[in-house]
Amino acid sequence: MSISPGDNVGPYRIIESLGQGGMATVFKAYHPALDRYVAIKVLHPAFKEDPNFLARFRREARIVARLDHPNIVPIYDYAEHEGTPYLVMRYVEGKTLKAVLREGLMPPDRALEIIRPVTAALAYAHAQGVLHRDIKPSNVIRANDDHIYLTDFGLARIAQAGDSTLSQDMLIGTPQYISPEQARGATADERSDIYSLGVVLFEMLTGRVPFSADTPYAVIHDHIYTPLPLPTSINPNLSHEIERVLLKALAKDPDARFATPTELMTALDQAVAAAPPPAPTAAPIPVAVPVPSASAPTPTPVPVSATAGAPSTAVFAPAPSKPQRRWSRKQIAVGMAALFLALCCLCIAAQAIAPRLGRVIPLSPAATRALRMTPDPLQMAKDQVTANPQDPRAHLALAEAYVKAKEYEAAFAEFDQAIKLDPKLGRAYLQAGKLATSLGEFDRAAKYFQYGREAMPEDLDLLLAQGDLFFKWKKYEDAQTAFEKVLRAKPDSAAAMWRLGDVYRVQGKAADALREYSRAIVTDPNLPEAHYGLGMLALGRGATEEARRQFQIVINNPETPPDLRDQARKQLEKIGEKP
């Protein structure tokens, strides 16, 4: 059935088409009996393929029509025209939020003015047991009087409950705003609406949606698996308080999100209030203008400001006198000590460069004493062992001092002594095993980790390090077993998740690796190792822009280990990007 301007649909006269979406076509119509304009949503004819659709349509429309809230577009009527169902709603003159967003980035205070009535409408609907399921900017209307409306309640529910081919397509009708659980086909609840509203808010504050791709299925995949890009990486002017609200609203796990729209709005209000104000514009400093006495000489006027074509304005001000600073005895003592240290350093430097000048400058007695007073960490550790030969921690400290001095065999001997004195000293096994791993002595490392695990089977740090050894040894099945054991003992271990992701990635199991990296970042959003893994996966599938973004996150993170930062820089250089 085709409806055109001039047609009659029930008692309504079609005036013009307002737009068409995946589920319905919207018309402006006139109702002569009530002398008012209305909006009519005519659902897609394909819904008629579902024999149970009309009964479901009447039931759902009746529920939604009972919603009575100042920020919800009311439904006046619902019926069928030649077997095609339609809804009759209030006609609101204004702009959709989608059109408003085309005007540019929205400041937080303006975003609050729009989001506040939307959350109020959602909270009311949720209290009535009604979900929206399709929150997006085109379903938020700003009327010409600036009143905000939320529309299309329940329309997605009416469509998705059906068995027609079209109803299956509705799942991806607006993929940019769909929640991960809806994308998986799981049961949606109030928190799904909160996620979709979080996407809208993200777009309002950053100027773009979190995920976009060439196909709807690629966007859905990102909603399920890809970590949310940090809002401040897109809009650096956003405060960290507002960013935290967005991260919580857009958590992939529904349990980690805000429980209600009211809770989201409260957090957003607090975040905006706590955000630092913009830097104030420098104001002119008032200068006192003294009135010269008759006996005083007239000073030469100095123009402070002048406008072209206007007379200069002269301001007379005496030069401010600097207050005399008084030094305390403590400040004098500190200054003398600093001066003494500087002289010592100067003498040492002179001694170092003197041979190049052809002569040797002897150190002063004071500089010699200062050098003798400089503590030697290795010697101090040795002295501790001499003073406490039965203290395992003294031997452990000496072993670590030997490692820094690159005296590795001496370090292993002290690790062994510490373990002999205290077989439960987990750090000794751990450091010795890591040292052997770094030196490529995998058999030696395996023995340390094995003995440590036998002595302390519950030590998860040892188990992680043992998995790292197996990974470096290319014993991937053993590494996977170790990391999975950690996750069974501690399901929220992000350290085990990203390591397991690495195991899957090097084995070519991209989907499994993506799942583990995503889980790790949901647990710890700033985890550099997981972001690096995501960058490598993106490179593997040719998503250069995503890879570039992930590697840049690794480089910018102050907690990234230096070697991992270097690897990220190298990957950026390979794809032609300067870090």
What residues are annotated to the active site? 134
Amino acid at 130: V
What's the CA dihedral at 150, 156, 159, 162 to 10 degrees? -140
Nearest CA to 427 out of 406, 446, 387, 455 is that of 455
Residues sharing a CB contact under 8 Å with residue 450, sequence separation 6 or more, in sequence order:
466
Within 13 Å of residue 5, how many CA atoms lie on the same side as its CB? 6
The DSSP letter of residue 32 is T
Q: Who contacts 486 (Cβ-Cβ below 8 Å, separation ≥6)?
A: 460, 463, 464, 467, 493, 495, 496
39 close to 92: Cβ distance less than 8 angstroms: yes
Continuous segment of H or E residues that includes residue 192: helix 190-206
| Phi, psi values for residue 171, rounded to 5° | -60, -30
Rounded to whole angstroms, the Cα distance separating 452 from 466 reads 10
26 DSSP β-pair partners = 19, 41
Nearest to 204 by CA among 171, 242, 166: 242
The DSSP annotation for 276-295 comes to PPPPPPPPPPP-------SS
Q: Nearest-CA neighbor of 239 among 196, 266, 195, 277?
A: 277
Tell me if 101 sits within 8 A of 203, measured CB to CB. Answer: yes
CA 295/CA 529 separation, integer angstroms: 78
Residue positions counted in the chain: 579
Can you name the residues that pair with 17 across neighbouring β-strands? 27
Is residue 150 within 8 Å of 72, Cβ to Cβ? yes
Which residue is it, tokens 């009309």?
Answer: 54
Residue 29 to residues 92, 143, 319, 333: CA-CA distances in angstroms? 12, 18, 77, 88
Comparing C-alpha atoms, which of 365, 375, 330, 358 is closest to residue 344?
365
**Do residues 162 and 50 lie in contact, with contact meaning Cβ atoms separated by under 8 Å?**
yes
Separation between Cα atoms, residue 179 and residue 249, nearest integer Å? 11
Give phi and psi for 140, each to the nearest 5.
Answer: -115, 125
The residue type at 303: P
> What CA–CA distance (Å, rounded) separates 188 from 465?
40
